[in-house]
Structure 1
Amino acid sequence: MKPVGVVRKMDQLGRIVLPKSLRKRYEMNEGEPVEILVQGDHIILEKYRPKCSFCSSVENVMEFNERYICKSCIDEVQSFV
Structure 2
Amino acid sequence: MKTTGIVRNTDSLGRIVIPKELRSGMEMSVGDPVEILVEEDVIVLRKYQPAGACLVTGEVLVENKEFAPGLTLSLTGARILLQELQNKKANLGSTKKE
Asked if residue 38 in structure 1 is aligned to residue 38 in structure 2, the reply is yes
TM-score normalised per structure 2:
0.55
Alignment correspondent of 2:15: 15
User: How is 1:42-57 mapped onto 2 (pairs within 5 angstroms)?
Assistant: 42-52=42-52
Which of 37, 62, 71 matches 2:65? Answer: 71
CA offsets per residue over residues 2-60 of structure 1, 9 Å max, x none?
Answer: 010000000000000011111111111110100001111100000000114xxxxx557
The alpha carbon displacement at 1:71 in A equals: 2.6
SS for the counterpart of 1:13 is coil
Identical pairs, percent: 49
Q: Which residue of 1 aligns with 2:60?
A: 62
Q: TM-score, normalization: structure 1?
A: 0.66
Q: Which has the higher helix share?
A: 2
4+ runs deviating over 6 angstroms: none
State how many pairs are aligned. Answer: 63
Q: Which residue is equivalent to 2:78?
A: none
Inter-partner Cα distance in structure 2 for 1:29 and 1:59:
17
- Unpaired stretches in structure 1, ≥5 consecutive residues: 53-57, 73-81
Q: Name the structure where strand makes up a greater proportion of residues.
A: 1
Describe the SS at the equivalent of 1:23. Answer: helix
Gapped runs of 5+ residues in structure 2?
A: 67-98
